[in-house]
Amino acid sequence: MGRVRRRDERGVVTQLFMFLVVSGVAGVLVAGLVIPLAGMTGMSTQAAIDNFEKLPSTLKEPPLPERSTMYDSKGNVLATFYDENRINVSLDKISKPMQQAIVAVEDARFYEHGPLDLRGTMRALIRNQQGSGMQQGGSSITQQYVKLVLFESASTPAEQKAAIDETYERKLQELRFAVGLEEKYSKDQILEKYLNIVFFGANIYGVEAAAKHFFNTTADKLTVPQAAMLAGMVRNPNGFSVEKDPLEVVARRNFVLSRMVDQKSITVADYERLSKQGLGLDISETKTGCFSSKYPFFCEYAVETLLDDPALGATRELRRRYLYEGRLEIRTTLDPKAQDAAQKSIRKKIRPTDPVFSAVSMVEPGTGHIKAMAQSKGYGRGDGNTFVNYNVGQNDGGGIGVQPGSTFKPFVLAAAIKQGIPLSHQVSSPNSMVLPAREPISRCDGSRPWRDDDPWRIGNSSNPGASSIDLIRATTRSVNTAFVNLERETGLCDPWRIATEAGIKRGDGKPLEQVGSFVLGVNEVTPLSMAEAYATFAARGVHCRAIAVTSVLDRKGKAVPVKAAGCKRVLEEHVADAVNYTLRQVVDGNDPSRSGKDMAMEGRQVAGKTGTNNDRKAVSFAGYTTDLATYAVVQDAHSPLRGLRGQRVGGKRLADAEVWGGKLSGPIWLGAMEGALDGKSSPDFEDPEDVVVEGEQSDVPWVLGYSERTATRMLREAGFEVTVGEPVSSSREEGTVAAQSPSGGSEYGTGSTVEIRLSRGDGNGDGDGDGNGDGDGDGNGDSGGDGDGDGDGDGNGNGGGD
C-alpha cells in the first residue's frame, strides 16, 4: 500500500513539474493546461494538445434573463415580472468596494493571470489526484463565468447537470472557452459579466438586484461591509441565510474583509472597525407578477394582451419567456387617480362580500386608453375575492358579460340618424304593445329576417307622455315601445354593425346576436367594451380599440411593435354629434322625467344612458364627457341570477325604487367620474346641424274628416309616417279622422310620424282638436322610471331596460 501511494505522489510531482516547465518557462499555455490532464488520463501529450485545440473556443452568450417592469401612465411601477430577479448594469455602475471584494475572495490574482490561475489549478490538481477524482476546481473568475453561462443556457435538468459536473472532459472544455473569452474581452469586461450573472440566493441574480434586495440601494452605492457580505454569499448562496444564520453571514463577511486586507483594498484598521458592525440589512422584496400589484385586475388584463400579441413571439410560451426574461419596459394606460376614484366610488355602495358585484371601466375617447378598471370583488381566494375580472370577457380572464339593458338603445338611435331619420321623428310609443308572431325585422344581407315564434309583448316602466313621441323624448324617458318601433324601421343590421364597429364584445367572445330584443340590451357584453363604444360617440364617431399597453421597449431601448388602438372613423360626425346631443338631454336636458338627471356634473356637459335588464338582474349607467367615457354596472352574482330587488347590499336591503340604472349604478358612475376628472376641464360637445335635429321641414296636410285610408295616403305623399292612435269622442262621422298631431298647417320634419285618431261618432267633442298635443306631460318616471325590461335573448319579453 505504501509503495502504491509513493508511486502516485511521484506521478503527481512529475506532472506538476512538466506543468511548470511548459507553462512557466516555455510560456505555452495550452501545453500547461493539457499535459497534467494527459498524464492523469493516459493520453499522450500531443494527442491531448490536439484534442484541446479542436474543442470549440467560442462560448455562446445568450442575453441573460432580466426582469421586466410594468408602469402606469404616471411612471409608477405596477408590477415586475421575472424568473430570475436580475438587472444588468455596466461596471462603472458597480461600486469599487464591490469589485474589490469579489476579486479578493473569488480570484485574488484575477488581474495577473490568464484564463486560469496556475497556482490554484496546481493546488486543485494535487488534491484532486489524492482524492482519485475531480474534487476541487481552483477556478478563476473567467472559468466560473463560463460555468454559469453554460448553466444558464441549459434548457433541461440534464443539461444543467452536465454544465456543472466536475469531470476532466467538461473542465477541459471550460478551460477552452475561458481561453477564447480572455482573447475576446478585457478583464474588466469579464468581471462585469460575472457580477451580473452570479447568484446571491433568494432568486436574486446579479449585484444590482442583490443590492436592492438586501440593502435597498443600488450597486454603485454599495459600501465596503455591504460589498463584503454580498461577495461572501457567492460561494454558497443557498447556505448563507441572513434570516436564519446572521452570525454565520457576519463571519463570512469578515473573512472577505480579511482577504481585502491581504489585497490592500482596505487597511487593518478598517478591518478592525468594520468587522464589529452588524449587517445593516434593509430587505426590499421585489415580488413577481400581478398578484402583488396594487391594481392586479388591470395588471392581469395588460399581461393577457401581451401574451396574445405576436410581436412578443410566435407562441404564447415564447411571449411569456420574453415578458419574464427580456427586461421589457412596459408603459400602460392606467391612471391611478381615476382607478382610485372608481374603486372608492364602488366601495361606497357595494361591499366585496355582498351577493352582487359592481364593475367600472373608464376609456379615454380618441385614444382608447383604459384609464381605470375597478370592481367590488377583491383579487384572490376567499370570501369577497375572485380571480374573475368582471370588466372583460372569458378570453381575457373575465366573466360571461352583463346584459346592458337600455344602454344599447343608442346604437339603434345612431342607425336611425345614419339612415336620415331626424331627431324630431315621431315614433309610436304606447304603454304596451304586442308584436305578432313571425313578424319580421330585417337583418344584415345574407341573413334571414328575425322572427319570433310567439307574440312578443313589450311594456314600458316610464311614462312616454304621449302615444307618439320624438326620438329625443323616447331616449330621455327610455321608452321601450318607441325604441322597438324604431328598430322595426331601421332593421337590425345597421344597429348591429354600429355596435360591433364601435367595439362592443360579448363576454363569451361570440358575435352579437341579431334578435328583436337587441335594442333592449339582451346580449351579454363586457363593461370594458361598453365604455369603448360610448367613447366612440364621445370622439365624434372615431373608434379606438381599448388598450391597456401604450408601448414596450426591449433591453436595448428599441420599441416592440405591440398592437395599437387602431383608431378609425366608424360613424360620420353628424351622426355622432346627434347621438351626443340626444344623450346629453338624458342628463342635462329639461325633461323632468329624464332617467339620468341625477348624473349631472357642474361645469361639464355630460351625455349618458341608463340601463336596467330583465327582472332587474343588472342595472347600469353608461356616460361620458368629451374626454372620458365610463360604464358602471351592478349585477346579481348568484347563479342563476335572482335579481337585485331585496338583496342586502352595502349593509341594507335594496328597495324596489333603488334598483334602477339611474339610482344604483348611476351614483357609482358619478363618483368615479368626478374623482377622475377633478382639477381638469372638459371641452363642450359639438352641436348637431339643425337638419339632423329637425329634419327637412314640410307643411303637414289637414286630414280631419277624411277616412283613415285617405288621410294616410295624403300624409305619406307629403313625406310623413303615420300612426293611428286610440279613437276619440267626436261629432265627426265614425271612422273618419277626428284629431291629428301635429295639427294641419304646421311645419314638421319630413319622415317624422304624424298621429291620427278616428272618431267614435258619438257626437261628443267639436271634432276639430289636434289630438293629444306633443306629449309634454311629466309622466311617472321620475321616481325610478328608467325602465324595467325583460327580454331573454331570443326576442321574448317585455322590454330591456331603462
Flag whether 484 is in a domain. Answer: yes
How far apart are alpha carbons 128 and 775 in whole angstroms? 103
pLDDT at 11: 38
How far apart are alpha carbons 665 and 620 in whole angstroms? 5
Lowest model confidence (mean pLDDT) among 40-49, 448-457, 626-635: 40-49
* 5 pLDDT more than 60: no
Calculate the CA 792 to chain-centre distance. 30
Flag whether 635 is in a domain. Answer: yes
- Burial class (CB within 10 angstroms; exposed 0-12, middle 13-18, buried 19+) of 652: exposed
Domain boundary among 274, 306, 323: 274
CATH code, 171: 1.10.3810.10
**Omega before 365 within 30 of 0, i.e. cis:** no
Flag whether 44 is in a domain. Answer: yes
* 302 pLDDT more than 70: yes
Q: Are residues 756 and 656 in the same domain?
A: no
CATH code, 584: 3.40.710.10
pLDDT in tens, 685-706: 999 999 899 888 889 999 999 9
Burial letters 97-111, b for 16+ CB under 10 A, else e: bbbbbbbbbbbbebe
Q: What is the DSSP pairing of strand 378-379 with strand 618-624? A: unpaired
pLDDT at 172: 81
Are the C-beta atoms of residues 517 and 800 closer than 8 Å to each other?
yes
Residue type, 154: A
Q: Are residues 231 and 185 in the same domain?
A: yes
What confidence category does residue 49 fall into, taking pLDDT thresholds of 50, 70 and 90?
Answer: low
Lowest model confidence (mean pLDDT) among 102-116, 530-544, 565-579: 102-116
Per the model's pLDDT, the better-predicted residue between 340 and 34 turns out to be 340
Per the model's pLDDT, the better-predicted residue between 413 and 37 turns out to be 413
Flag whether 607 is in a domain. Answer: yes
How far apart are alpha carbons 527 and 404 in whole angstroms? 8
Q: Are residues 93 and 232 in the same domain?
A: yes
Q: Are residues 6 and 130 in the same domain?
A: no
* 340 pLDDT more than 90: yes
**Mean predicted confidence (pLDDT) in 520-532:** 97
What confidence category does residue 12 fall into, taking pLDDT thresholds of 50, 70 and 90?
Answer: very low
Q: Are residues 24 and 171 in the same domain?
A: no
**Mean predicted confidence (pLDDT) in 740-757:** 86
**Mean predicted confidence (pLDDT) in 769-789:** 37
Q: Are residues 222 and 136 in the same domain?
A: yes
What does pLDDT average to over the chain? 87
* 119 pLDDT more than 90: no
- Please choose, from the candidates 268, 278, 285, the residue with its C-alpha nearest in 3D space to the C-alpha of residue 80: 285
**Mean predicted confidence (pLDDT) in 477-498:** 96
pLDDT in tens, 140-180: 999 999 999 999 888 788 888 877 777 777 778 888 899 99
CATH code, 729: 3.30.10.20
What is the maximum span of the chain, computed from C-alpha positions, in angstroms? 143
**Mean predicted confidence (pLDDT) in 236-243:** 88
pLDDT at 136: 42
- Please choose, from the candidates 54, 747, 147, 760, the residue with its C-alpha nearest in 3D space to the C-alpha of residue 424: 747
H or E, element range at 70: strand 68-71
Flag whether 319 is in a domain. Answer: no
Q: Are residues 618 and 737 in the same domain?
A: no
**Mean predicted confidence (pLDDT) in 379-387:** 95
* 673 pLDDT more than 70: yes
The alpha helices in 419-525, defined as continuous H runs, are 471-476, 480-490, 493-501
Backbone phi, then psi, for 357, in 5-degree steps? -130, 155
**Mean predicted confidence (pLDDT) in 586-606:** 94
* 236 pLDDT more than 50: yes
Q: Are residues 126 and 209 in the same domain?
A: yes
**Mean predicted confidence (pLDDT) in 84-96:** 97
Task: Residue 153: give the domain boundaries.
Answer: 85-274
DSSP output for 651-717: TEEPPGGG-SIIIIIHHHHHHHHHHHHTT---PPPPPPPHHHHH-SEEEPPP-TTSBHHHHHHHHHH
How far apart are alpha carbons 696 and 689 in whole angstroms? 12
Q: Helices 118-130 and 2-20 meet at what angle, rounded to 10? A: 160
* 193 pLDDT more than 80: yes
Q: Are residues 182 and 117 in the same domain?
A: yes
- Please choose, from the candidates 386, 368, 370, 389, the residue with its C-alpha nearest in 3D space to the C-alpha of residue 378: 386
Place of cell 347600469: 620
* 234 pLDDT more than 50: yes
Lowest model confidence (mean pLDDT) among 349-353, 371-375, 624-628, 645-649: 645-649
What confidence category does residue 802 fall into, taking pLDDT thresholds of 50, 70 and 90?
Answer: low
* 784 pLDDT more than 80: no
Q: Are residues 223 and 149 in the same domain?
A: yes
Domain boundary among 222, 242, 274: 274
Lowest model confidence (mean pLDDT) among 581-590, 680-689, 779-788: 779-788
* 331 pLDDT more than 70: yes
pLDDT at 776: 33
Q: Are residues 593 and 461 in the same domain?
A: yes
pLDDT at 296: 98
Are the C-beta atoms of residues 452 and 438 closer than 8 Å to each other?
yes
Backbone phi, then psi, for 458, in 5-degree steps? -120, 135
DSSP 8-state assignment for residue 201: S
What confidence category does residue 395 fall into, taking pLDDT thresholds of 50, 70 and 90?
Answer: very high
Burial letters 32-43, b for 16+ CB under 10 A, else e: bbbbbbbbbeeb
CB neighbour list of residue 389: distance below 8 Å, 6 or more residues apart:
297, 300, 301, 373, 375, 396, 397, 398, 399
Per the model's pLDDT, the better-predicted residue between 640 and 455 turns out to be 455
Alpha carbon separation from 82 to 79, 551, 748 (Å, rounded)? 10, 19, 67
Flag whether 74 is in a domain. Answer: no
What sign does the CA torsion over 569, 575, 577, 583 have? negative
**Mean predicted confidence (pLDDT) in 507-524:** 96
pLDDT at 97: 98
Q: How many CB atoms within 10 Å of residue 556? A: 7
Sheet holding 356-363, edge to edge: 370-375, 356-363, 629-636, 618-624, 607-612
pLDDT at 786: 46
Q: How many CB atoms within 10 Å of residue 196? A: 24
How far apart are alpha carbons 368 and 283 in whole angstroms? 39
How far apart are alpha carbons 521 and 219 in whole angstroms? 58
How many domains does the chain contain in total? 4
Flag whether 746 is in a domain. Answer: yes
How far apart are alpha carbons 608 and 533 in whole angstroms? 12
Are the C-beta atoms of residues 387 and 379 closer than 8 Å to each other?
yes
CB neighbour list of residue 4: distance below 8 Å, 6 or more residues apart:
none
**Mean predicted confidence (pLDDT) in 257-261:** 98
Lowest model confidence (mean pLDDT) among 49-58, 312-321, 342-351, 657-666: 49-58
Are the C-beta atoms of residues 767 and 730 closer than 8 Å to each other?
yes
Per the model's pLDDT, the better-predicted residue between 385 and 18 turns out to be 385
Q: Are residues 700 and 662 in the same domain?
A: no
What confidence category does residue 756 fall into, taking pLDDT thresholds of 50, 70 and 90?
Answer: very high
pTM score? 0.85
pLDDT at 124: 58
Flag whether 330 is in a domain. Answer: no
